[in-house]
Amino acid sequence: MERRYAVGIDLGGTNVRAALGDDRGNVLARVEERTERRRGPEGIVKQLARMVLAVTSELGLERIEGVGVASAGTLDPERKIIKVFANLPFNEIPIVDPLERELKVPVKLLNDCSTAVVGEKTFGAGRDFENLVYITISTGIGGGVYVDGHLLFGKDGNAHEVGHMTIDMEGRLLCGCGKRGHWEAYCSGENIPNYARLLLHGREEEFEESMLSKIVGGDIRNLTAKSIYDAAKLGDPLSLRIVEHVGRANAIGFSNVVNLYDPELITVGGTVALKNPRLVIEPIRKHLPEYALNRVPEIMITPLGGDAVLYGALAIVFKEVV
């Protein structure tokens, strides 16, 4: 059977990636650039169009079935735009119509985490599962969900905001969205340092004597998720306790996902998880049975690695998902 081709785009606030691939999951060409921030929405569209042309230069636009765009932020599926993009200095970014006019091929737009779970189901570990969740633990926390073989979308396309489930009713930490007690406020790469400082309150002497303190130059304000996990990998007892607390909080978030969606498989991606697979996954597996009402599913790092979103962006061209 003749191969079908598409271009997938992973649009983030810092970087944008484009890949030419086929319906068998082969990536044939790719390009990555810093996201255009200076020329407003029009600059974003021109950048995406140029990158599509770059990866299709040898094959030709006439050979591809379309372009799939996976974007962070809140989307407006009616107007086919990115409504709110927190990491860019502007919002209301038209994507579908301008790109279709520029490239003369169909364009589809979907949230990045929903796109990632489509990639997992099409090309990854979820091929044989009808009930599947993908969770990213990165700068933020997000998810994509299949139930009974159907991608959950929601009235506004936002049925994936698992990172904004409340896991702490006392609301000790403020989430980037402005609400308190959300999972993301405790366990995302951006916010793990805030949780660590909360845990270390009143334990300054213990911190000063730790390996973690040496790594961050003795200044608790310099804590990062990377420094905490790096110290834990070196066996630092204080960092290992912090990682255990983060793991328990993650287990509460995962239990909410398990209780709500009853998946057979949860795959995990995102920078924090991919760079620290054992330290992230093992505490989740350990503590999840304490909180989950439904049968605990298999939990694993995504085999698609950092390309789950790109694979999904290709897949949404080849198949109708919503």
> Whole-model pTM?
0.93
* Beta-strand pair 107-111/132-137: unpaired
What is the structure's pLDDT at 320? 86
Element (H, E) at 142: strand 141-147
* Ramachandran angles phi, psi of 247, nearest 5°: -60, -40
Q: Per-residue confidence of the chain (322 residues) as pLDDT tens digits?
A: 789 999 999 998 889 999 999 999 999 999 999 998 888 889 999 999 999 999 999 999 999 999 999 998 788 877 788 887 766 777 888 999 999 999 999 999 999 999 999 999 999 999 999 999 999 999 899 999 999 999 998 887 778 889 999 999 999 999 988 899 999 999 999 999 999 999 999 999 999 999 999 999 999 999 999 999 999 999 999 999 999 999 999 999 999 999 999 999 999 999 999 999 999 999 999 999 999 999 999 999 999 999 999 999 999 999 988 6
DSSP readout, 151-217?
E---TTS-TT-GGGSB--TT--SB-TTS-BSBTHHHHSTTTHHHHHHHHHTT-HHHHHTSHHHHHTT
Buried b (16+ CB within 10 A) or exposed e, 73-110: bbbbbeebbbbebeebeeeebbbbebbeebbebebbbb
Question: 30: helix, coil or strand?
Answer: strand
CA distance 114 to 90: 23
Strands of the 93-94 sheet, one edge to the other: 74-76, 81-84, 93-94
- Topology agreement, domain 5-119+307-318 and domain 127-302: yes
Right CATH for 127-302 from 3.30.1330.40, 3.40.50.300, 3.40.50.1260, 3.30.420.40: 3.30.420.40
Residue 216 contacts residue 227 (beta carbons within 8 Å): yes
Name the DSSP letter for residue 138: S
Q: pLDDT value at position 151?
A: 96
Handedness of CA 18, 20, 25, 26 (dihedral sign): negative
pLDDT value, residue 68: 97
In angstroms, the CA 315 to CA 36 distance is 25
Q: Quote the CA–CA distance of 253 and 263 in Å, as a whole number.
A: 14
What does DSSP assign to residue 62?
A: G
Sequence spans of domains, the chain: 5-119+307-318, 127-302
pLDDT at residue 46, as a whole number: 96
* Fold for the domain defined by 5-119+307-318: Nucleotidyltransferase; domain 5 (3.30.420)
